[in-house]
Amino acid sequence: MTINAAVDTTVTVHQLPTGTYETPAALAFRGGSFRERRQFAATAVLVRHPRGDVLVDAGFGARAEEHIRSLPPYRRSPHTLGATVSEQLDAAGYDRARLAGVLLTHSHWDHVSGLDSLDVPVLVTAQELRYAEHSRGDAVFRQVVADREVRTYEFGGPAHLGFPAAHDLYGDGAIVVVPAPGHTSGSVVVLVTTGAGVRYAFVGDLAWQLEGVTRGAQRPLLMRLLADSDPGQVRRDLDRVRALGPGTRVVPAHDLRAYEGIPRLA
Ligand SMILES: [Zn+2]
């Protein structure tokens, strides 16, 4: 059995940038300079699908300042907050009834902060829930999902594009989640094929910047040790993503350049 990639022609993706935070390039990827500072994107992606739209991650929320203050000092950095996902949906006149849930690449604060103003189901792996329960120094997920419906899913589908298993959200190949349990123990990659025939791989924090994909540059050693649950698994999954080839647009969650060409929500 394989996953059918013939998809509904109405599937589209939109970016909802909610702000940025600053990180020296030297800490973002191997070979990066200490003189260069990168603006890390905190951008959510809306995937519109006739059976129900999903957000991939949630960006910064209305209480982002509070969330940042709750982090250990070494994890706070200069940041700029923009409109939240919730505000952008409203500004676009978006019908909330269409939103089926938020699909998380992983549970770190900068991907879930925006859940504070989105009252929709949160879709996450059981492994990631366990990770988040025991996460020290980042309690934002536990706060923002306290009164949300959290739905777990299994990778019941076959090997897909080099990954050992898959979860085909609507069974039509349009939105396929594959396991990538290296950055956190329940991290995933979300593969989306649009009606225009473009395939995106939303890889979360498998790499922080595009150099992870274009050059295979993992995080620097110190950051691998501090930030990754299993650096060896990150390496293997990064290689799988790189093997997807030029037909797939790989979007590391925090690389502003990766979102170029993805339309905003009109
Ligand atoms: Zn992140």
pLDDT higher than threshold 70 for residue 5: no
> How many angstroms does the Cα of residue 40 sit away from the middle of ligand 1?
9
> How many angstroms does the Cα of residue 13 sit away from the middle of ligand 1?
20
pLDDT tens per residue, range 63-92: 999 999 998 888 888 999 999 999 999 999
pLDDT higher than threshold 80 for residue 103: yes
Q: What residues sit around ligand 1, an ion, with C-beta below 5 angstroms?
A: 108, 110, 205
Residues 237-249, mean pLDDT to the nearest whole number: 96
Domains and CATH numbers, the chain: 12-259 (3.60.15.10)
> How many angstroms does the Cα of residue 6 sit away from the middle of ligand 1?
31
Give percent above pLDDT 70 in the chain.
Answer: 98
pLDDT higher than threshold 80 for residue 6: no
> Tell me, what's the pLDDT at 73?
85
> Tell me, what's the pLDDT at 75?
83
pLDDT higher than threshold 80 for residue 4: no
Q: What are 47's strand-pairing partners?
A: 13, 54
What does the block give as tokens for 154? 């299994």
Residue linked to tokens 């939109």: 14
Helices (H), 149-254: 211-214, 221-227, 231-242
Q: Is residue 213 classed as helix, strand or coil in its secondary structure?
A: helix
C-alpha to C-alpha distance for 220 and 134, rounded to whole angstroms: 25
> How many angstroms does the Cα of residue 252 sit away from the middle of ligand 1?
9
| Backbone angle region of 117, left / alpha / beta, with phi > 0 → left and psi within -120 to 50 → alpha | alpha
pLDDT higher than threshold 80 for residue 3: no
> How many angstroms does the Cα of residue 166 sit away from the middle of ligand 1?
22
> How many angstroms does the Cα of residue 30 sit away from the middle of ligand 1?
17
Residues 26-49, mean pLDDT to the nearest whole number: 95
